[in-house]
Amino acid sequence: MAKEQKEVSAIAYIYASFNNTIVHITDLSGNTISRVSGGMVTKQDRLKANPTTAMFITKKIEEEIKEHGVNNLYVRMRGQTGGQGLGPGANTVIKTLSKDGFNILSISDVTRVPRGGPKKAGGRRGRRV
């Protein structure tokens, strides 16, 4: 008799800036299952946000979450606040997860949007040259 595989879901938080890529996996109640960053895979600063490094990050994550029986993922991607958008590692992480047999239920971009922010320098009449 075949062993039934239970459907276990988790949330994958992907922070992808142009300096680093961090993947944090939690269960649905928020308990951390696994967390891997670019610095845990490579020691060269210029390679932390590389798509190739993102693939190695994903491979480390997969080993840890397969032990917990996770097969469904909700993905939440986040870029640098006020930046140019998502870094180069975000799409690679999602692509690698889906190729390796994880069912991705939803992908949402949760990048924070700055509103207002600090006062602009220069005073009321602007900078006088």
CATH of the domain at 78: 3.30.420.80
Q: Is residue 125 part of a domain?
A: no
Give the mean model confidence (pLDDT) for residues 44-66: 91
> For residue 110, is it within any domain?
no
Give the span between the Cα atoms of 101 and 112, in whole angstroms.
30
CB 56 within 8 A of CB 40: no
Phi, psi (rounded to 5 degrees) for 20:
-160, 165
- Give a yes or no: residue 122 inside a domain: no
pLDDT value, residue 121: 85
Q: Is the pLDDT of residue 127 over 70?
A: yes
Asked if residue 83 belongs to a domain, the reply is yes
Domain with 23, as residue range(s), is 9-103
Structural domain total, the chain: 1
Other C-beta atoms lying within 10 Å of the C-beta of residue 126: 9
Query: pLDDT value at position 120?
Result: 81
pLDDT for 16-31, tens place per residue?
A: 999 999 999 999 999 9
Listed residue (107, 16, 92) closest to 59, CA to CA: 92
Whether residue 123 is contained in a domain is answered as no
Domain annotation covers residue 4: no
